[in-house]
A and B are shown apart, each in its own frame.
Chain A
Amino acid sequence: MRMETTDETLAQAAANGDREAFSLLLARNYDRLFGLCFRLTGARADAEDLTQDICAALPAKLGGYKRQAQFSTWLYRVAVNAAHDRRRRHATHARAADGWGDWEVNRVATNKETQDGVDWLTQAMSSLSIELRDTLALTLEDEMTHRKAGEVLGVSEGTISWRMAEVKKHLRVMHQEEQKA
């Protein structure tokens, strides 16, 4: 029965203290959330941390969920904000040493990754500006429309479309350079 309940109803119930609803809601959305975190951070280690942070905070956050919003939109907004904050903390924490630390972390992470293309991906994404990167991370999901991505990021649909055009331009240049090399 419950499986047919919408995420929105579940979220409302969970906000009211329904334990089962919360559990189901999270189980349904976990993989998608992780996928987004991965796209936002570009590295498995970071994605795992970020997902964990969000999971830990979600119970408290559900209090801010309003029924008008689609649950996934809301969840994505939470994730994007969390990713932002994570980056900021990263940036402020240790401006000097951090660069090399990350370089090392990335190198190790890259070695661990065996999946095809993840290296290219990390490179492609981290060469984008933050806005473009968030936009790309969101829109890469199949059912994500530009309108919905706009809702998540708090910008207009047109802005998303424009940003995606920028991303494509950027990727094309990168691709051409790769081919040359």
Chain B
Amino acid sequence: MTDDLTHLKDAMRAATPKPSKKDADLALAMKNFDDMQNSRQGSANGARLTTDHPTITSRFTSGVIHMFHSLTTRGALAATTSITAVGIGVFLYAQQGNIRFELPKPDAVVAELPVNTPVLHDQVEALIEQSSVDETTATAQTDTRRTRETAELSQEEGFAAGAIAAPEAEADMVMAEIAPSAPPAFIRKAAPVPMGGITSGALGYDDVVIHPEPNTEKFANADANPVKITTDTPVSTFSIDVDTASYSVMRSSLMNGYAPDPQSVRIEEMINYFPYDYPAPDANEAPFKPTVTVFPTPWNAGTQLVHIGIQGTMPALEDRPPLNLVFLIDTSGSMASPNKLPLLIQSFRLMLSELHDEDEVSIVTYAGSAGQVLKPTKVSNKIAIMAALMRLDAGGSTAGQQGLQQAYAVAEEMRSDGEISRIILATDGDFNVGISNPDQLKDFIAKKRDSGTYLSVLGFGRGNLDDATMQALAQNGNGQAAYIDTLSEAQKVLVDQLGGTLFPIANDVKIQVEFNPAQIAEYRLIGYETRALAREDFNNDTVDAGEIGAGHSVTAIYEITPVGSDAILNDALRYQPAADTDGNGELGLLKLRYKTPGEDVSQLLTTLITSGMGQATDDIRFSAAIAGYGQLLSGGKYLQDWSYNELITLANETKGEDAYGYRSEAIKLMRLAKSLSAE
């Protein structure tokens, strides 16, 4: 670390001025010095310094005239009095007054400062001070303020600019003042900063392509679930997860021509991206129904898959309770690119057409400071909502937490009995002001969750995506995290599956499976690494878990190794008796806990898992293919020789009707991933 600095220091020492250049610079400085001395001797007017500005005199005079024109009599009186009182000070004052009217080049002012002015300078300050006290008329006051500002500017920043800048347009100066926070183009693009793989097909002058900062994406993940020995840990507990963000992130990576970061692959999210046609519960049953299927593993002849498909009920959408939606929209500068704010606006417009007239929408933005741009408005007034959406503009830094606080406040204000409140946070994941620690944000949201307001997070854009924070927010806000990279993804999340996105039918859904050591030697849960729960958490109703929305289907897959299989990875122990096999064919017990929305006490569902149960339909086998795909992308430790070829064959066989085309798209992506992995 200190080495780095020393390294830099040494590199700096290597830079010595060229002697010829030094001589030339010194000569130039001396010439300017002489010029200035001469001009001082010649007249008290320092204006000669700037002979390269021919308009100086005329501007000076016109400025004075201007000033006197716009001063009221009293102001003028004050000014003239000062003229007689302080002589040369007024000369400066007048000149700087000039600035107010014409916005001349700042260099003019600087260059005209008589050279030896420390005392004079103070006089000017005093004069300005005094006149600003004296002034009674608004006009004169404004003038003075501006004069002072300009004077300060010319002393500090503008000072250097002035004398050096030569004839720069005023606009430059103005621009510079407006946009000091924007990194200058030459710094942004000069260095070949490692791009972290953000590339795009078309090379053009585009911020999406030439990405200035190193890739700052953060992904939430843990190491792949290891194989567990049933006799050691017979029980596996986790929370369900209906997020789909990981799939979209994978897609956007592949579409941009690079393999996704293995850390970004969460297999359960890839599996749950697809709609499956599992049997739905009957009207009087629990709000969802688990279906268990046991069938051979595609990638390992010695093991089997236990496939748990959970189908949520689909209440009639016409009868649904009114919705209160708060769009919490990140309008920070980083949201400006076309795949962020503009896509977001289009996505919300799509969604608007799916809402009912009595639903209410409010919009809160955050960038620098949080603000409500649209008061709660009924969807029947679509025009007002659209107009508010179209007015959104990116600029400023991100203060995620302030925005959240305000959004929760708005949601609470909108709530009334029997209605569902949900905040939809749309961001590129950058919470760089306020609480930036995901843990603290989590706490804040977890507290707010109990007020009954749900929080969903939509991620936009890549390169800056803070996946970990997004996950943390959605998981703790009883909501869903989805990543929107294309308009068709927006269609899927916000239109086709709107019900699931917006209407929870079961909260805190936890799964616990107890395996029978007499039948199963080893097992492994595929995915759900970030959702693992402690065994005792299953019955603890205060422990938060995932939600199921209307019509959602959720899939969990275990790979199990039967006792006696040659695929067992762990050797038998010498000092512990092997479990006795029994003949009852019970592989294990599946337990599910959930709360109906609004309830605090959970209910329990149990299903026995027996050998060979269920029918391995195309749907189920396709989900197994996706499980295999996810493993290929994240390393494929347990896949043996199974490769993309087998994967693509299996996915093709099982893609079925594929009404929305999601599965065909997945197969295309598999082929892309195959080509990329061959490199």
Contact = CB atoms under 8 A, between A and B. Distances in A.
B320 interface: no
Chain A interface category by residue count: 35 or more
Contact of B29 (A55, A129, A130): A55
Q: Interface SS of chain A: helix, strand, loop or mixed?
A: helix
Contacts of A93: 172
Contacts of A54: 160, 164
Interface string A73-88: 0000010011011111
Contact of A19 (B21, B33, B121): B33
A60 to B, nearest CB: 5
A87 B184 contact: yes
Given A91-B179, A127-B193, A30 B155 contact: no
A102 B111 contact: no
B578 interface: no
B12 A35 contact: yes
Interface string B24-68: 111011101111110010000000010000000000000000000
B176 A85 contact: yes
> Which of B1, B15, B32, B186 has the most chain A CB atoms closer than 10 A to its own CB?
B186
Interface stretch (A2-10, A44-52, A155-163): A44-52
Nearest to A95: B185
A126 B11 CA distance: 14
B14 A81 contact: no
Nearest to B26: A26
B160 A81 contact: yes
A85 B17 contact: no
Given A31-B16, A177-B194, A102 B189 contact: yes
A111 interface: no
B25 A51 contact: yes
B168 A91 contact: no
B163 A57 contact: yes
Interface in B139-176: 155-161, 163-165, 168, 171-172, 175-176
A38 B12 contact: yes
Interface in A22-53: 22-23, 26-27, 30-31, 34-35, 38-39, 42-44, 47-48, 51-53
Contact of B34 (A19, A47, A91): A19
Nearest to A63: B115
A98 to B, nearest CB: 5
B310 to A, nearest CB: 42
A15 B180 CA distance: 32
B190 interface: yes
Contacts, number: 229
Given A26-B29, A66-B118, A124-B8, A88 B184 contact: yes
A55 B26 contact: yes
B106 to A, nearest CB: 10
B36 A59 contact: yes
B575 interface: no
A99 B185 contact: yes
A19 B38 CA distance: 12
A105 B8 CA distance: 22
Given A23-B26, A140-B9, A81 B187 contact: no
Given A22-B33, A27-B26, A177-B194, A64 B155 contact: yes
B636 interface: no
Contacts of A92: 171-172, 175-176, 179
A87 B14 contact: no
A1 interface: no
Contact of B25 (A44, A52, A64, A102): A52
Contacts of A22: 29-30, 33
Interface in B104-156: 110-111, 113-118, 121, 155-156
A88 B185 contact: no
A121 B8 contact: yes
A31 B17 contact: yes
Interface string A105-148: 01000000001111011111111011000001000100000000
B16 A47 contact: no
A60 B110 contact: yes
A142 to B, nearest CB: 8
A88 B160 CA distance: 12
Contacts of B116: 15-17, 63
Nearest to A14: B33
Contacts of B186: 87, 90-91, 98-99, 102
A85 B11 contact: no
A177 to B, nearest CB: 6
A47 B16 CA distance: 10
> Which of B14, B15, B175 has the most chain A CB atoms closer than 10 A to its own CB?
B15
A122 B158 CA distance: 27
Contacts of B14: 115-118
A85 B157 contact: yes
Contacts of B187: 87, 126, 130
Contact of A118 (B15, B26, B185): B15
B1 A168 contact: yes
> Which of B9, B24, B187 has the most chain A CB atoms closer than 10 A to its own CB?
B187
B15 A35 contact: yes
Contacts of B182: 91
B602 to A, nearest CB: 45
Contacts of A51: 17, 21, 25
A64 B163 contact: no
Given A117-B14, A140-B12, A85 B7 contact: no
Interface in A154-181: 168, 171-172, 174-175, 177, 181
Nearest to B33: A59
Contacts of B185: 90-91, 95, 98-99, 102
A124 B14 CA distance: 16
Contacts of B118: 65-67
A83 B171 CA distance: 19
A-B complex: 3 closest residue pairs judged by Cβ atoms: A81-B160, A57-B163, A117-B11
Interface of A: 14-17, 19, 22-23, 26-27, 30-31, 34-35, 38-39, 42-44, 47-48, 51-67, 78, 81-82, 84-93, 95-96, 98-100, 102-103, 106, 115-118, 120-127, 129-130, 136, 140, 168, 171-172, 174-175, 177, 181
Interface of B: 1, 3-5, 7-12, 14-18, 21-22, 24-26, 28-30, 32-37, 40, 49, 110-111, 113-118, 121, 155-161, 163-165, 168, 171-172, 175-176, 179-180, 182-194, 205, 210, 214
Given A19-B34, A127-B191, 12 more contacts: A26-B29, A27-B26, A34-B15, A34-B16, A57-B160, A60-B110, A63-B117, A99-B186, A116-B11, A118-B14, A171-B5, A174-B4
